[in-house]
Structure 1
Amino acid sequence: MTLARSVLKWILLSLPLGVLVGSACALFLGALERATELRFEYPWLLYLLPLGGALIGWIYWSFGQSVEAGNNLIMDEIHEPGGGVPLRMAPLVLIGTIATHLFGGSAGREGTAVQMGGSIASGIARWVPGLKPDDVRNLLMAGIAAGFGGVFGTPVSGMIFAMEVLAIGRMSYAASLPCLVASIVSDQTCTAWGIGHTHYRIVSILPVESGLHLAPLDAWRLFAAALAGVLFGLTSLLFAEMTHGLHAAFKSLIRWPILRPVVGGCLVILLVWIVGTRDYLGLGVTSPDPAAVTIVSCFEPGGAHAFSWFWKVIFTAVTLGSGFKGGEVTPLFFIGAALGNVLAGIFNVPVDLFAGLGFVAVFAGATNTPIACTVMAVELFGGENIVYFAVACQLAYLFSGHSGIYLSQRIGTPKLALKPLEEMQSLRQARANRRGFLRFVGRSGKKNHEKDETHE
């Protein structure tokens, strides 16, 4: 009876959570699509990006300083419960993200959906009497799952992502049922509101007459997938460190928070002039220009330029690092698909398959969630290539090191490392320790060099 009561409790809590978060995702995706259409229809909106940045900066400075940390705030609240996640996080991040995309900032949508999910879950936790701290923790995880599953149309990977993203190498199964229910309900609610998702097609390499259910493992193709996984992981590392580094630089050089996105907006406009294209603005999923580089075009031969992936890294790091709102995941999809497109030509392997590998593997490396990303590949592209996806995601996860886009993520089980790391320290702490060690080495090297000069 205790088990039955527990199951019933979580179903009753997760169902309304999924409906609310799914509806919020539908509103968000609909508004985001319209904002993107307006940006394409009125190209001059790009030149208002600094003004939009000032508006976002003012809104968060005036009303949102307590929710500025975004996804990291939700993670911190799960790890160490405190004052909860303010309900105003949901409307603030919704407004900020729509403004970012309307004026041409390069950002994603996952962060917004996850923050809305966590905010709504925290609100429900405050309204329902008698919930224990562990119940609130599980409900927040279900909010993450609902936001992820609803915004991407991938309910199973949404559940796994919420359980896997909190701590590297350690999954929490206590919230598996509420995460699954909330993610499925959110996805179905979003669909019921008439919101669709982009379909990506990978041509089958499974011979019909073979009777197999998995694509045959070609030795060269598998080796290429492994090597690509290493490069995807290093790209994840580059993206995370560049985004965090620019964010720190903006905070250090520009004390007034309202001015940071203004400067960032000017830099994005300058980048457009330098590159000579607007392909790297916004989500980058599709474009009315058939010659544009998009995520969809990356699944076709010649659909990306040699450095399309790198320019998307720069555009997104400047946008998010300066204080604009949105997620990192859709830009990571773009970066990975574009890099996979280029590598496919180098390795002489199927372009669509390697674009798909990059799509999920760069994401896996940047979020340290290889299992969720492997399952996501199955939900998006089908299951016959799961071995290739698993290899690429796992190697990307390993070679991204102890870095990631979520600094509040904890290190549950360290990856392969030369020296042991403190268990359950955050990536923020690990990054600070790493930088402190490098400064120490630099000072030591300078002292030794001075001694050598004196001796000479």
Structure 2
Amino acid sequence: MEQSEISWKQTFKNQTFWVFRSLLLGIIIGPACYLLSYLIGLAGTVRDSHWWLIFALPLAGAFISWGYNRIDPVLRESSGTTMEIINWNIRKRTNPTENPDAPQKSISPWLAPVILVSTLISHIFGASIGKEGAGVQVGTSISSFLARTEMRLMKSDSSQDMGIWLCIGSGAAFGALFKAPIAGTLFGIMVASPNIARFDAMLPCLVGSLVASFISSSLSIGTPFVLGVVDLPWSIKNALIALCLGVAAGLLARLFFVCSMTARKLSSRLLPNQYVRTVVLSFVLVLCFVLIYLATGSLEYCSLSASLMNDSRPWSFVIKILLTVISLAAGFTGGEVVPTLVIGASAFRALGLIIPLPLPTLAVFGAIGMLSGATNLPLVCFALGLEVFGFANFEYLFIICVMSFIVSGRDSIYPNQLKA
């Protein structure tokens, strides 16, 4: 039997095993993401009905910090650990002479319940954070648990296999949360290393993301992003406008990085104690919410603030950046993707004062464009835009994603990405 035939059969066998594993992961992660989205929606309803809960935000923040320190402080670094495990095999293949040691850290089984509870608390009391970060960590926690279970039963230990498990878990969760299986697939293989994708995990990521997304859709995870996008005709003028909008989205993403990093470094230096830092910044958040309510009569800037994508004031994006940066520096959990989408959409709606394009179309360009620059994942964001908002203006959307990615630089809301 020829070597090529043996290699083909081995590849087919391995991929078949991974398809069954990814089916199992998708079946578990889909309902888990539905539960997360449902509970976050319920948390928002409770907060809206009991607005006074925002005054307890400092206590909520202190409780979250206590919980992490009590259970395992390393849980806060789980996102970085996930990327380190995924990237180990990439480093081994791209730098064979270095022979890097296998990662010594692992994903704790406590991650899923801890991140779920802390995210719900953050939303109930009004912190300006998202949900996808929590969902992805729930997915990686589940996949890590199943991987370790299989390794114990099979008496094997493969860091390469663990990396694929985590790719599937993160991709399936992302796809389920946004009902975007293609974006979920690309997210799973690219999030840890945007320049060198884990194509060995592509098929299982696709299967896991499709299954999880189908289940979450069947359980009726609704998307808060409903925009009546207007299809624009193809023209040189519109292409140049898209080019400029891509630059603006990249600069906006860069502004968000700088503000977020500055806030975290400054607060850590001035308030080195985690509990004191969380409580003080939570009081600042409460003060901001009160002032905003007195000025606008609304608490829509709390939590996800998805309504700002459809109706916002010219200065809404500035307020949302401020609240998100403070919430993240205080240690509240949930994620940054949804706030990034909201900031980008509200900022580009403000550009409608000077750019003669429909506001819903500008909102989509801003949301997806800023996310592309903020994540260093232009292909993921392009696919997400198509799956969530439709195929209208796909040429302009691609231009905006590429330009934003280039202009924003190497920084990302995922600081542990492999910069190859």
Q: TM-score, with normalisation over the residues of structure 1? A: 0.82
The answer for unaligned runs of 5 or more in structure 1 is 206-214, 287-293, 298-302, 413-456
For each residue in 1:266-293, what CA deviation from the matched residue of structure 2 results, as whole angstroms up to 9, or x when unmatched? 111121233334222110113xxxxxxx
2:182 to 137, 141, 156: 156
Separation in 1 of the partners of 2:198 and 2:206? 13
Following TM superposition, by how much is the alpha carbon of 1:319 offset from its aligned partner in structure 2, in angstroms?
0.2
Following TM superposition, by how much is the alpha carbon of 1:131 offset from its aligned partner in structure 2, in angstroms?
5.4
Is residue 92 of structure 1 aligned with residue 114 of structure 2? yes
Q: Quote the residue 2:402 is aligned against.
A: 394
Separation in 2 of the partners of 1:168 and 1:142? 16
1:282 to 282, 285, 303: 303
Following TM superposition, by how much is the alpha carbon of 1:338 offset from its aligned partner in structure 2, in angstroms?
0.5
Superposition map of 1:65-144 within 5 A: 65-80=73-88, 81-129=103-151, 130=156, 132-144=158-170
Separation in 2 of the partners of 1:83 and 1:104? 33
1:57–1:258 Cα contact (<8 Å) kept: yes
Following TM superposition, by how much is the alpha carbon of 1:195 offset from its aligned partner in structure 2, in angstroms?
2.6
Superposition map of 1:372-387 within 5 A: 372-387=380-395
Separation in 2 of the partners of 1:241 and 1:121? 33
Is residue 186 of structure 1 aligned with residue 223 of structure 2? no
Separation in 2 of the partners of 1:196 and 1:349? 27
Give the paired residue count.
390
Letter in 1 for 2:118: G
2:60–2:122 Cα contact (<8 Å) kept: yes
Superposition map of 1:213-252 within 5 A: 216-252=233-269
Separation in 1 of the partners of 2:281 and 2:162? 37
Q: Quote the residue 1:255 is aligned against.
A: 272
2:81–2:106 Cα contact (<8 Å) kept: no
2:349–2:359 Cα contact (<8 Å) kept: yes
What's the secondary structure of 1:68's corresponding residue? Answer: helix
Q: Quote the residue 1:339 is aligned against.
A: 347
What's the secondary structure of 2:207's corresponding residue? Answer: helix
1:225–1:354 Cα contact (<8 Å) kept: no
Following TM superposition, by how much is the alpha carbon of 1:315 offset from its aligned partner in structure 2, in angstroms?
0.3
Letter in 1 for 2:213: D
Following TM superposition, by how much is the alpha carbon of 1:167 offset from its aligned partner in structure 2, in angstroms?
2.0
Range with bigger deviation, 305-314 or 237-246: 237-246
Separation in 2 of the partners of 1:194 and 1:306? 33
For each residue in 1:250-275, what CA deviation from the matched residue of structure 2 results, as whole angstroms up to 9, or x when unmatched? 22222322222211211111212333
2:119–2:134 Cα contact (<8 Å) kept: yes
Letter in 1 for 2:289: V
Following TM superposition, by how much is the alpha carbon of 1:240 offset from its aligned partner in structure 2, in angstroms?
1.8
Separation in 2 of the partners of 1:35 and 1:311? 22
Letter in 1 for 2:224: T
Separation in 2 of the partners of 1:366 and 1:407? 11
Separation in 1 of the partners of 2:252 and 2:265? 20
Superposition map of 1:355-370 within 5 A: 355-370=363-378
Q: TM-score, with normalisation over the residues of structure 2? A: 0.89
Letter in 2 for 1:257: Q
Separation in 1 of the partners of 2:419 and 2:221? 36
Q: Quote the residue 1:443 is aligned against.
A: none
Range with bigger deviation, 19-28 or 252-261: 252-261
Letter in 1 for 2:207: V
What's the secondary structure of 2:199's corresponding residue? Answer: coil
Q: Quote the residue 1:266 is aligned against.
A: 283
Superposition map of 1:201-220 within 5 A: 201-205=227-231, 216-220=233-237
Following TM superposition, by how much is the alpha carbon of 1:174 offset from its aligned partner in structure 2, in angstroms?
1.1
Identity of aligned residues (%): 30
Q: Quote the residue 2:15 is aligned against.
A: 7
Following TM superposition, by how much is the alpha carbon of 1:75 offset from its aligned partner in structure 2, in angstroms?
1.0
1:405 to 410, 413, 416: 413
Is residue 175 of structure 1 aligned with residue 201 of structure 2? yes
Q: Quote the residue 2:330 is aligned against.
A: 322
For each residue in 1:179-211, what CA deviation from the matched residue of structure 2 results, as whole angstroms up to 9, or x when unmatched? 111111111222233433235233443xxxxxx
1:46–1:103 Cα contact (<8 Å) kept: yes
Is residue 147 of structure 1 aligned with residue 155 of structure 2? no
What's the secondary structure of 1:324's corresponding residue? Answer: coil
Letter in 1 for 2:376: N
The answer for unaligned runs of 5 or more in structure 2 is 1-8, 89-102
- Whichever structure has more helix as a proportion of its residues is 2
Separation in 1 of the partners of 2:229 and 2:269? 48
2:229–2:392 Cα contact (<8 Å) kept: no
Q: Quote the residue 1:63 is aligned against.
A: 71
Separation in 2 of the partners of 1:223 and 1:194? 39
For each residue in 1:336-376, what CA deviation from the matched residue of structure 2 results, as whole angstroms up to 9, or x when unmatched? 11011111331111211111011111111010000110111
1:366–1:400 Cα contact (<8 Å) kept: yes
Following TM superposition, by how much is the alpha carbon of 1:245 offset from its aligned partner in structure 2, in angstroms?
2.0
**Which structure is higher in RCO with an 8 Å CA cutoff and minimum separation 6?**
2
Letter in 2 for 1:239: F
Q: Quote the residue 2:97 is aligned against.
A: none
Is residue 309 of structure 1 aligned with residue 309 of structure 2? no
Separation in 1 of the partners of 2:287 and 2:386? 39
Following TM superposition, by how much is the alpha carbon of 1:307 offset from its aligned partner in structure 2, in angstroms?
1.4
Q: Quote the residue 2:55 is aligned against.
A: 47
Letter in 2 for 1:236: A
Letter in 1 for 2:44: T
